[in-house]
Amino acid sequence: MLQGFLQIGLTLLIIAAITPILGKYMARVFMGHKTILDPILNPCERIIYILAGVARRENMTVAQYLSSVFFSNLIIGGFVYFILISQSFLPLNPNKFAALRWDTALHTTISFLTNTDQQHYSGETALSYFSQTAALTFLMFISAATGLAVGIAFIRGLTGKPLGNFYIDLTRAITRILLPISIVGAIALVFLGVPQTFAPTLEVRTLEGATQYIARGPVASFEMIKLLGENGGGFFGVNSAHPFENPNAFSNLLEIIAMVAIPSALIYTYGIFAGNIKQAWLLFWMVFTIFVVLVIFVAIGEYQGNPLVNNIVAQEIANLEGKEVRFGWAETALWAVMTTATMCGAVNGMQDSLMPPGGFATLLNMFLQIIWGGQGTGTAYLFIFLILTVFLTGLMVGRTPEFLGRKIEKPQIVLASIVLLIHPITVLLPSAITLTFPKTLAGISNPGFHGLTQVVYEYASASANNGSGFEGLNDNTLWWNLSTACSILIGRYVPIIAILLLADSMAKKQPVPETPGTLRTDSSLFITVTAGVILILGVLTFFPVLALGPIAEGFQLAGGIK
């Protein structure tokens, strides 16, 4: 037990150490300051801007920024959909895979375009190398960079600056952050045993004389951006539980750090933009504390194991169902919380096999979306809660609600409310419809409370742009593909519209001077209140689902009921 918690503690220390380093670097990138990569990348970026017709210093209005996001995503999405439905005629298909069914291709395109990467197919038996690289790997860079650009535009507006230029932010996010780190990380993964090849599936004869087929491909390059960009989609069906995606303990550590590196650093980046590093650290430690509590909660549940199994063997053993023994209960618990906290969605074990505390924590992460949050947009959600806390506490103590010297008024609260309310709508409404028809629509493979969690988890994962799932659900059907695609689209683009409009409205406000009546937002007391608001709003909104799912399942197991 001690060794497991020491592994978790070491990982958390590394995360805290790299946050200010990467945070400062990202601030320099998006502020246009000099970086170490300038001599190499400046000429390349100038060519990209010329070809794209982008003026180097042109700031966009909110309408221009939004139209650029939607237009670029629409064109790129159409291009990728064409690849997926035509892959049987395209190169790099040594295994001669047929095209995906139209609804599976549509769901896959929307899922990867929106940084969700929810998969209703198994990559090694469905997609060609061309589809995995030219389509999905390409989308993983674009979707992550889009989220990062929107997050930076939100931070700019919140701190009273122009939103910037989407195409410039998109380019710099890829060339200065995602691509360099991905190249270094992919090389490291190759050294650790992750394959990078275009050779076809290997056919071997076993010692017993049977034939075994070993799938392989350009995995290392796919794997690194999948984690760094909070994408989460696996090259193989079992994702990072596969030894070719995650071969050993060191690769597991590297991949966990890659998942959280950008979301945690963005909080520090905000502090530099706002000129308030103290507030950034307070927010970081608030999120860090909630995260650690959830990790400990899940780890204890996995270490104690399943009481029904323990009663049979007459001893307490850890829950190793659905886990890779090379990682064990501790690293699987940490990964499960991290992948839902960062909205990454990659898995190194089966989420469906987690004990009820694991189901509770992973669902709660996707319901809140701010521990640590997705690529860029998750940081924006964190400040949505901060704005609501300013408004609520201002009303309670009779002070004018202000944030960063700008008044919080009705338009800002309406937009913030839209961001928070759209998520439960896109989770609970389709879940209710699906559960009304458990045999024809749901495809549940587990009875009772766990089956309900399977369905709700799938829609929460879609709406939160997470992508992980309680596997065992029969989800590659017309209903699941189209309904989750709708949740994905609404959960991605409606909040983007609202947070950019909110950022624009804040940028246009005249700053007011600080007075003795101004509510301080960089104090420990205010951050504690913010944590309370986050947990209360998140838990109250989804408490009935949690009560009927993992909480009820926990009581069922504790009572010895099968």
Q: Cα separation of 415 and 418, whole Å? A: 5
Answer yes or no: is 33 within a domain.
yes
Percentage of the chain with pLDDT > 90? 56
Mean pLDDT in residue range 448-457: 88
**Which long-range contacts (C-beta less than 8 Å, at least 24 apart) are formed by 384-387?**
384/416, 384/419, 384/420, 384/499, 384/502, 385/530, 385/533, 385/534, 385/537, 386/283, 386/521, 386/530, 387/412, 387/413, 387/416, 387/502
pLDDT class of 10 with cuts at 50, 70, 90 = confident
- Closest by CA to 116, choosing from 125, 107, 127, is 107
Q: What pLDDT score does 516 carry?
A: 64
Residue 218: DSSP 8-state: B
Q: Cα separation of 257 and 288, whole Å? A: 14
**Is the pLDDT higher at 297 or at 404?**
297
Residue 114, classed as helix, strand or coil, is coil
Q: What is the pLDDT of residues 496-514, one digit of tens each?
A: 999 999 999 998 888 777 6
How is residue 8 written in tokens? Answer: 């978790």
Answer yes or no: is 355 within a domain.
no
Answer yes or no: is 27 within a domain.
yes
Q: What is the pLDDT of residues 112-167, one digit of tens each?
A: 999 999 999 988 889 999 999 999 999 999 999 999 999 999 999 999 899 999 99
**Is the pLDDT higher at 400 or at 491?**
491
Q: Cα separation of 77 and 478, whole Å? A: 20
Rounded to two decimals, the pTM is 0.94
Answer yes or no: is 236 within a domain.
yes
Kindly tell me if the per-residue pLDDT of 517 is higher than 70: no
Q: What is the pLDDT of residues 387-410, one digit of tens each?
A: 888 888 877 776 677 787 788 888
Residue range of the domain that includes 221: 18-274
Q: Cα separation of 460 and 367, whole Å? A: 7
Kindly tell me if the per-residue pLDDT of 11 is higher than 90: no
Percentage of the chain with pLDDT > 70? 96
Cβ-contact 196, 245 below 8 angstroms? no
Cβ-contact 230, 144 below 8 angstroms? yes
Kindly tell me if the per-residue pLDDT of 377 is higher than 80: no
The dihedral over CA atoms of 220, 89, 105, 200, expressed in degrees to the nearest 10, equals -30
Kindly tell me if the per-residue pLDDT of 560 is higher than 80: no
Q: What pLDDT score does 408 carry?
A: 85
Cβ-contact 247, 196 below 8 angstroms? no
Kindly tell me if the per-residue pLDDT of 291 is higher than 90: yes
Q: What pLDDT score does 4 carry?
A: 67
Q: What pLDDT score does 241 carry?
A: 92
Answer yes or no: is 350 within a domain.
no
Kindly tell me if the per-residue pLDDT of 307 is higher than 90: no
- Closest by CA to 135, choosing from 262, 41, 233, is 233
Q: What is the pLDDT of residues 249-259, one digit of tens each?
A: 999 999 999 99
Q: What pLDDT score does 209 carry?
A: 82
Q: What pLDDT score does 329 carry?
A: 85
Backbone conformation region of residue 452, classed left if phi is above 0, alpha if psi is from -120 to 50, else beta: alpha
Asked if residue 479 has a cis previous peptide bond (ω within 30° of 0), the answer is no
Number of structural domains found in the chain:
1
Answer yes or no: is 124 within a domain.
yes
Q: What pLDDT score does 402 carry?
A: 79
The length of the chain, given as a count of residues: 562
Of 182-186, 306-310, 464-468, 526-530, the one with minimum mean pLDDT is: 306-310
pLDDT class of 236 with cuts at 50, 70, 90 = very high
Cβ-contact 288, 344 below 8 angstroms? no
Q: What is the pLDDT of residues 169-225, one digit of tens each?
A: 999 999 999 999 999 999 999 999 999 999 888 888 888 888 888 899 999 999 999
Answer yes or no: is 68 within a domain.
yes
pLDDT class of 37 with cuts at 50, 70, 90 = confident
- Closest by CA to 463, choosing from 343, 376, 560, 370, is 343
Answer yes or no: is 233 within a domain.
yes
pLDDT class of 5 with cuts at 50, 70, 90 = confident
pLDDT class of 305 with cuts at 50, 70, 90 = confident
Q: What is the pLDDT of residues 105-122, one digit of tens each?
A: 999 999 999 999 999 998
Kindly tell me if the per-residue pLDDT of 78 is higher than 70: yes
Cβ-contact 467, 113 below 8 angstroms? no
